[in-house]
């Protein structure tokens, strides 16, 4: 989220577009992760533990794969980065242009 603040400080068209792309991708990945965990939970009368996810790749492989992709994307692992590129690539160029006084 720190890179989004850099883009907000720049407050240009490029910065606003970078923040929008980042926040949409971030929101979709969070919603996907929570939806996958909700689909993988078997009981609602007790707390959900991480240990409960063990073996879900064999029981429900598609949902487990979707959860894996969402979590890797949220962690910033290279092929799954939000928006197919690191968020810094979309917000740093406008911020460097603004710091050097050219638009």
Low-confidence residues in the chain, pLDDT < 70: 1-3, 11-14, 78-103
Question: What pLDDT was estimated at residue 12?
Answer: 67
- DSSP codes, the chain: -HHHHHHHHH-SHHHHHHHHHHHHHHHHHHHHHHHHHHHH---SSS---GGGGTTHHHHSHHHHHHHHHHHHHHHT-GGG-GGGS-HHHHHHHHHHHHHTT--
pTM for the model? 0.67
Question: What pLDDT was estimated at residue 50?
Answer: 85
Question: What pLDDT was estimated at residue 60?
Answer: 92
């Amino acid at each position: 989220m720190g890179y989004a603040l850099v883009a907000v400080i720049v407050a240009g068209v490029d910065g606003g577009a970078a923040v929008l792309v980042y926040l949409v991708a971030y929101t979709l990945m969070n919603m996907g992760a929570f939806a996958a965990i909700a689909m993988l939970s078997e009981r609602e009368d007790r707390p959900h533990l991480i240990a409960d996810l063990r073996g879900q790749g064999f029981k429900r492989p598609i949902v487990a794969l979707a959860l894996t992709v969402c979590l890797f994307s949220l962690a910033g692992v290279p092929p799954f980065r939000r928006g197919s590129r690191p968020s810094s690539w979309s917000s740093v160029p406008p911020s460097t242009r603004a710091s050097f006084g050219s638009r």
